[in-house]
Amino acid sequence: MKRILITGAAGFLGSHLCDRFIAENYEVIGMDNLLTGSMDNIAHLMPNQHFSFYHHDVTKFVHVPGELDYILHFASPASPIDYLKMPIQTLKVGSLGTHNLLGLAKAKNARFMIASTSEVYGDPLVHPQPEEYWGNVNPIGPRGVYDEAKRFQEAMTMAYHTYHELETRIVRIFNTYGPRMRVDDGRALPAFFSQAIRGEDITVFGDGSQTRSFCYVSDLVEGIFRLLHADYSLPINIGNPNEITIKQAAEEVLGLVNSSSVLSYLDLPKDDPKVRQPDISKAKNILNWAPKISREEGFRLTYDYFKKVVK
């Protein structure tokens, strides 16, 4: 069996990746310091003989006994509410954590993948965003701790690829949603669903005209799986190019939940991107990948989950 280490394993994306690789008959080693992750997300995997869990902070030295074929570095606070509250930890997991895991990959001769993000493009001046776009990021703004941690992570990964000839992969993840998102993680869809279910006002930042492109989690996991096994070391966007306004997303959630909630508008946070849409030409051509789950179906599946967990 191939052995894979997945950091951030108890998080939203990490736990879905653990599920996928277990289903593909890999031996999966999950690692998480539970800063933002939850053991509830991987509790169903704990009895599985092909899954093991290390409670560990990757900014400290990382040791995993035995051979490793792959390392997926998905550990990081990933929502504004988290990285604004934990700016130093966010920078450290992107820098020290990445360095530690690249060292482990080099020692084990393992293929290494990082979870980068559409946030490397900042508040983009090019639309939609192709991988060649260098971005428009404020390095000292409130979002800079996340944006620059991910940009450094990409630079460090490419340096190991070019200098040490390490096999590396970089996935730039656009807005993703689905079951196991935290109710209180501050991102748009968890906030909309939880507020609508409770009958609270739906908080929309700005006038709601800013856009996002929402990709259902199973589509994202498929793209990540294909990229890991492809022969391509430069960054690739994985996301759904179907772009909508935040106001439209809120209204669709309201209609689905059939809630009495009303939209409430708040000031737009500093440096909040006005547009976000991936150019997925490379994913289509290189990975033969494109999203399959419609927003209607994805929202319904997500609503089914939030109905159970929203108190």
Q: How far apart are CA 286 and CA 182, in angstroms?
A: 33
pLDDT at 39 over 90: yes
Distances (CA, A) of 168 to 110, 117, 152, 242: 9, 16, 15, 29
Q: How far apart are CA 116 and CA 172, in angstroms?
A: 5
Q: Token digits for 17?
A: 């990746």
Condensed to tens digits (0 to 9), the pLDDT of residues 101-110 reads 999 999 999 9
Mean pLDDT over the full length of the chain: 97
Range 31-49 average pLDDT:
98
Condensed to tens digits (0 to 9), the pLDDT of residues 193-207 reads 999 999 999 999 999
Q: What is the DSSP letter of 136?
A: B
Q: What is the DSSP letter of 107?
A: H
Condensed to tens digits (0 to 9), the pLDDT of residues 278-306 reads 999 999 999 999 999 999 999 999 999 99
Condensed to tens digits (0 to 9), the pLDDT of residues 71-125 reads 999 999 999 899 999 999 999 999 999 999 999 999 999 999 999 999 999 999 9
Distances (CA, A) of 140 to 97, 143, 224, 270, 273: 21, 8, 30, 11, 15
Q: How confident is the model at residue 271 (pLDDT cuts 50, 70, 90)?
A: confident
Pairing of strands 211-213, 243-245: antiparallel
pLDDT at 269 over 90: no
pLDDT of residue 183: 93
pLDDT of residue 19: 98
Condensed to tens digits (0 to 9), the pLDDT of residues 46-73 reads 999 999 999 999 999 999 999 999 999 9
Please name which of 109, 227, 231, 102 lies closest in space to residue 172, comparing C-alpha atoms: 227
Please name which of 133, 154, 151, 132 lies closest in space to residue 143, comparing C-alpha atoms: 151
Q: Token digits for 181?
A: 């998102």
pLDDT at 15 over 90: yes
Q: How far apart are CA 22 and CA 281, in angstroms?
A: 29
pLDDT at 230 over 90: yes
Give, for 72, the enclosing helix (H) or strand (E).
strand 70-73
Range 219-245 average pLDDT:
98
**All structural domains of the chain:** 3-177+215-241+282-286 (3.40.50.720), 188-211+243-276+294-309 (3.90.25.10)
Q: How confident is the model at residue 242 (pLDDT cuts 50, 70, 90)?
A: very high
pLDDT at 138 over 90: yes
pLDDT at 311 over 90: no
Quickly list DSSP for 105-155.
HHHHT-EEEEEEEGGGGBS-SSSSB-TT---B--TTSTTHHHHHHHHHHHH
Pairing of strands 70-73, 3-7: parallel
Q: How confident is the model at residue 178 (pLDDT cuts 50, 70, 90)?
A: very high
pLDDT at 272 over 90: no
pLDDT of residue 292: 98
- Cα dihedral value 117, 60, 95, 104, nearest 10: -80
- 146 counts as catalytic: yes
Which residue in the list 26, 70, 121, 146 is annotated as catalytic? 146
Range 30-39 average pLDDT:
97
